[in-house]
Structure 1
């Protein structure tokens, strides 16, 4: 029955594409179908399924999940308040007068607000409202505008404390715990802060590449941009917002704040500012709160459905099968990681980043970390692959969102041509991190990276410990 689980994964992809139903509904339906098959075949004992409620309850005891509604709330508030507009105007006013200045300013805005927006979709909405009209007025061709907004909306994925980074860090913590338990290594299990630190240098490299490419792309503009005129109020708002964002992001990256604390501080500050200025009252406030509850509910529903689905896969023995496949990949660690990243990349054609984190990562990453001890390196490579999935033609989530929000008729080939330099930079960075793991350990102390060498495992011992690792606890 192990192969049945792989068929169920394929069925999930087909269901999401062909039905148009939310991924949570498809996952629950396929998980139910798989459980029925397993019980009928005698592979799954019906009593074992009673472990699901306690598993879901334990899932929600994770304090890190408090960040989800807070980041959703911040994204909605940033879209309602004039913070993005003030920062963009200030960027254009400070940069040298050049056709490239609006593009660079838009890219910098994505890097600043992306981590606080909570999702790529929220970043696309905010950047489309603030940046796109001004780029059009400056004569930037539509394909270039679409490409800039799509890329800028994904920058927050790499900059802590983004929602994708938080969720992936939590998934990697669980996967690394399972791997360390299975192998008996004395590794220190990675935590959220480790993943934040590991992503800083690759994130900085990609941001620098994007700013350089934006400057080059600005040569297609038909005229010099007009100087942005800042009022005293806009200048003060931009200065306060910039200092606050840098302090908040820097505090999380350096370990002074936890991700949940940062999200709470940001959401409270934005909400207080909106109430004091009168921009969040009555119908507007009600709509923001309703949207926050709806989006948070969608994320939690997806998490619950994915947890149920992965439990069924483990009961069917699919996790054991995947572990044996990963352990049998010939070649070096780089080859094994590249194969697993390819699987994640293929999954991105039918699943978005959140679905990959909730469904694919818990299946393929634990056995990879049994084979490879460097969890920070693997985490950043997975993160970069997820970011690439947002921009992967033709169904990348950021691409679909930009085309849907801007509602401009742009030839897809022209769009991809404008996007190509950024995709090349992204893939170059992925290869750079793949072959130079040291980039994910810059600034890491010797104590953080210390571990005792583990004795090599025989194939029999490897399979035995893998089976122990994926075995579900008996229901009480």
Structure 2
């Protein structure tokens, strides 16, 4: 009956592809069918399922999740306040002598707002609505404009301290705990701050290369196609950019907790909206409705994923999956490559949050048994997801950006425009895989590992929140 869990996993993917139902509905429905099948087949009894309330309680007690609705609130405010317009105008004014000024400004705006927006979909929607018309007015071809918007919207996947990194860090902490229990080692467990530090180097490299490619592709353009900002507007744009960089940088280096930074950012955005007169009562009502709807959907996804993983493990499918990962050829390299391929394929169907709460909990523990460098694995996974989100025609960034731009080019034309950016993403991923030290440039000295006799291989009994949550 161990294979039933894999059938459940395939059923979730199939139902999501053909029904269009919300993910949490599919997860709970498949879990109920799986639980009934397990009890009817004598694999487990109903009292075992009573562990679910405790797991859900542990989920909701995690103080890290306090940041989730605040990130969503920031994204909703960014979508309705003229912040992106101000930043785009300021960045274009600073580099106005270059023919690539509109492209560089678009990437700069993406690098600043994508980590605050919460998701690729939110970033693509905001950038497509705000930046695309300005790129078109500057004479940028539609395929190049859409390629830059898609790339900029994926920056939140790798640039700390985005919501994606925040939640993946928590999921990887639990996976790392399970892997250490299985191997009998006691060493420092990965936390969210470790992932932030590990992602800084690759993210900086990716941003630098992206700006270089954008400059090269647009260097022959006509300078001055974007109207420059006046003195007061330019000062405002600089102040906004400085505030965002201070906020994001403070969290990335550990000066601020994610919850504190998200609260500060949401308050500052709301205050700016009130002072500027853009945040009316009607707009505020829309912002709050969107925030509650998205936050509710994410918490429902958490609950559905927790239910699914419990039933999955009760069938012993996690041990079967661990055996499959262990059987992959070429040792740890083959195991990592196999998991990254699965993540890349999943990203063509699922978004980042769905992957974090459905795929990561079942794939990462057995992988971390074979590849113990959890930070390296997590950063490689993030870069893989980012590349998949950018791949036409099914990449999430492409799908979302196409919905909001006025003129969407054909897939073949868009693929040629995206190819340079996709190539540099794969190059950064290859560098990280070849040189793991790139993710350890800023981390503190690690404690030595201690071998514990009698390490347990029974991951089914491992609580999902065994380690102290990271704020």
Q: Structure 1 residue runs of 4+, over 3 Å off?
A: none
Match of residue 129 from structure 1: 129
Match of residue 298 from structure 1: 297
1:208-264: CA deviation from partner (whole Å, max 9, x where unpaired): 11111111221575x433353323442232121111111111111111001111111
Determine if the alignment matches structure 1 residue 470 to structure 2 residue 469.
no
Per the TM alignment, residue 409 of structure 1 is displaced from its structure 2 partner at its CA by 3.8
1:295-354: CA deviation from partner (whole Å, max 9, x where unpaired): 111111111111111111001111111112222323232222111111211222322211
- Secondary structure of the residue aligned to 1:465 is coil
Per the TM alignment, residue 58 of structure 1 is displaced from its structure 2 partner at its CA by 1.0
Per the TM alignment, residue 126 of structure 1 is displaced from its structure 2 partner at its CA by 1.8
For residues 101 and 276 of structure 1, the distance between their equivalents in structure 2, rounded to whole angstroms, comes to 30
1:23-81: CA deviation from partner (whole Å, max 9, x where unpaired): 11111111111111111111121111111112111111000111111011101111222
Per the TM alignment, residue 453 of structure 1 is displaced from its structure 2 partner at its CA by 6.1
1:284-305: CA deviation from partner (whole Å, max 9, x where unpaired): 1111111110111111111111
Contact 1:334–1:435 (8 Å) recurs in 2: no
1:153-168 maps to which residues of 2 (within 5 A)? Answer: 153-168=153-168
- Unaligned stretches of 5+ residues in structure 1: none
Q: TM-score, normalised by structure 1?
A: 0.94
Contact 1:141–1:220 (8 Å) recurs in 2: no
In terms of mean alpha carbon deviation, does 352-361 or 77-86 score higher? 77-86
The alignment yields a C-alpha RMSD, in angstroms, of 1.7
- Unaligned stretches of 5+ residues in structure 2: 464-471
The number of residue pairs the alignment matches comes to 463
Match of residue 452 from structure 1: 449
Contact 2:149–2:401 (8 Å) recurs in 1: yes
Contact 2:128–2:405 (8 Å) recurs in 1: yes
For residues 401 and 183 of structure 1, the distance between their equivalents in structure 2, rounded to whole angstroms, comes to 42
For residues 42 and 350 of structure 1, the distance between their equivalents in structure 2, rounded to whole angstroms, comes to 33
- CA gap of 1:231–1:220, structure 2 versus 1, over 3 A, is closer
Match of residue 405 from structure 2: 406
Match of residue 265 from structure 1: 264
- CA gap of 1:112–1:228, structure 2 versus 1, over 3 A, is same
For residues 158 and 248 of structure 1, the distance between their equivalents in structure 2, rounded to whole angstroms, comes to 16
For residues 182 and 364 of structure 1, the distance between their equivalents in structure 2, rounded to whole angstroms, comes to 14
Contact 1:154–1:387 (8 Å) recurs in 2: yes
Q: TM-score, normalised by structure 2?
A: 0.95
For residues 174 and 302 of structure 1, the distance between their equivalents in structure 2, rounded to whole angstroms, comes to 17
For residues 339 and 271 of structure 1, the distance between their equivalents in structure 2, rounded to whole angstroms, comes to 45
For residues 359 and 21 of structure 1, the distance between their equivalents in structure 2, rounded to whole angstroms, comes to 16
Match of residue 363 from structure 2: 364
In terms of mean alpha carbon deviation, does 41-50 or 212-221 score higher? 212-221
Match of residue 211 from structure 1: 211
1:53-68 maps to which residues of 2 (within 5 A)? Answer: 53-68=53-68
For residues 146 and 46 of structure 2, the distance between their equivalents in structure 1, rounded to whole angstroms, comes to 51
Per the TM alignment, residue 87 of structure 1 is displaced from its structure 2 partner at its CA by 1.2
For residues 187 and 388 of structure 2, the distance between their equivalents in structure 1, rounded to whole angstroms, comes to 30
Match of residue 324 from structure 1: 323
- Secondary structure of the residue aligned to 2:185 is coil
Contact 2:182–2:456 (8 Å) recurs in 1: yes
